[in-house]
Structure 1
Amino acid sequence: MQGSGLRVAVVLDANGVPEWHRSVAESVRALEGVVLTAVIAAESQAARPRVEPSHAALRRMAIDDVVPDVPRIRYATSIARGTSFDVLIDLAGVDLDCHPPYGVWRYGFGDGRPFANGASGTVVRLYRLTADPERAVVLGDGWYRARTPDAWGTRSVAARVAPWCARALQQIAGGDEEALEVATGSPQSTAGCLDMEPPDAPLSRVVAVADTLRTWLRRERWTIGLVAAPIEDILASGALPEPIWLRDQPPDRFYADPFPVACCGDAVRVLVEDYRYHPKRKGLSELEIGRDGRLRRAVDQETLPPRASYPFLLRRDGELICIPETSSADAAMAFARDGATGKWSALGDLVRGFRVIDPTLVEWNGRWWLFCTKQGDEDQTELYLFCAPSWDGPWNPHPLNPVKSDTRSSRPAGQCFETGGVLYRPAQNCARRYGAGITINRIVELTPRRFREEPVLSLLPSPSSPWPDGLHTINSLDDVTVVDGLRVERRW
Structure 2
Amino acid sequence: MAIKKDIWRTGLCFAPVDDIVTMGGFSGFDVTWLPDMPRSYQFRADPFGLRLGDNLHLFSEVFDYRDRHGRIEWAALDAKGRVIESRIVLEKPWHLSYPQVFASEGEIWMLPEAFQSGKLTLYRAKTFPDEWEATCDIALGEDVAIDATILNFHGMWWLFYTPLHAVKSGVNALHCAYANRLTGHWTRHAGNPIRVDHASARPGGMAVEIDGKVMLPVQDCVGGYGRGIRPLWLDSLSPASVKISCGPRLNPAPGFKPYLEGLHTLSACGDLTFFDVKKRTLSPNLLMIEARRALRNRAAQRRQDV
Q: TM-score, normalised by structure 1?
A: 0.53
Residues 394 and 305 (structure 1), Cα distance of their counterparts in 2 relative to 1, 3 Å cut: farther
SS at match of 1:272: strand
Gaps in structure 2 of 5+ consecutive residues: 285-306
1-structure distance, mates of 2:127, 2:171: 35
Gaps in structure 1 of 5+ consecutive residues: 1-211
Alignment match, 1:300: 88
Residues 300 and 365 (structure 1), Cα distance of their counterparts in 2 relative to 1, 3 Å cut: same
Residues 268 and 380 (structure 1), Cα distance of their counterparts in 2 relative to 1, 3 Å cut: farther
Contact 1:380 1:430 in 2 (8 A): no
- Taking the TM superposition and a 5 Å limit, the aligned residue runs for 1:11-410 are 215-216=2-3, 218-241=4-27, 243-250=31-38, 251-262=40-51, 268-290=56-78, 294-302=82-90, 306-339=94-127, 342-352=130-140, 353-376=142-165, 377-378=168-169, 381-410=172-201
2-structure distance, mates of 1:485, 1:341: 26
2-structure distance, mates of 1:219, 1:239: 25
Alignment match, 1:473: 265
Q: Quote how far apart the aligned CAs of 1:366 are.
A: 3.6
Per-residue deviation, residues 344-365 of structure 1 (Å, max 9, x unmatched)? 0110111254211011111223
Q: Quote how far apart the aligned CAs of 1:323 are.
A: 0.9
2-structure distance, mates of 1:322, 1:340: 11
Alignment match, 1:486: 278
Per-residue deviation, residues 233-260 of structure 1 (Å, max 9, x unmatched)? 2233333236322233322411100011
Which structure is larger by alpha-carbon Rg, 1 or 2?
1
Residues 235 and 462 (structure 1), Cα distance of their counterparts in 2 relative to 1, 3 Å cut: closer
Residues 340 and 290 (structure 1), Cα distance of their counterparts in 2 relative to 1, 3 Å cut: closer
SS at match of 1:331: coil
Which residue identity is paired with 1:488? R
Residues 290 and 276 (structure 1), Cα distance of their counterparts in 2 relative to 1, 3 Å cut: farther
Q: How many pairs were matched up?
A: 277
Contact 1:303 1:345 in 2 (8 A): no
SS at match of 1:279: coil
Residues 290 and 314 (structure 1), Cα distance of their counterparts in 2 relative to 1, 3 Å cut: closer
2-structure distance, mates of 1:474, 1:318: 25
2-structure distance, mates of 1:341, 1:465: 30
Alignment match, 1:438: 229
Q: TM-score, normalised by structure 2?
A: 0.82
Residues 264 and 220 (structure 1), Cα distance of their counterparts in 2 relative to 1, 3 Å cut: farther
2-structure distance, mates of 1:340, 1:433: 37
Contact 2:36 2:43 in 1 (8 A): no
Q: Quote how far apart the aligned CAs of 1:468 are.
A: 0.5
Higher relative contact order structure (alpha carbons within 8 Å, sequence separation ≥ 6): 2
Which residue identity is paired with 2:223? R
Of all paired residues, the percent bearing the same amino acid is 27
SS at match of 1:359: strand
Alignment match, 1:109: none
Contact 1:229 1:481 in 2 (8 A): yes
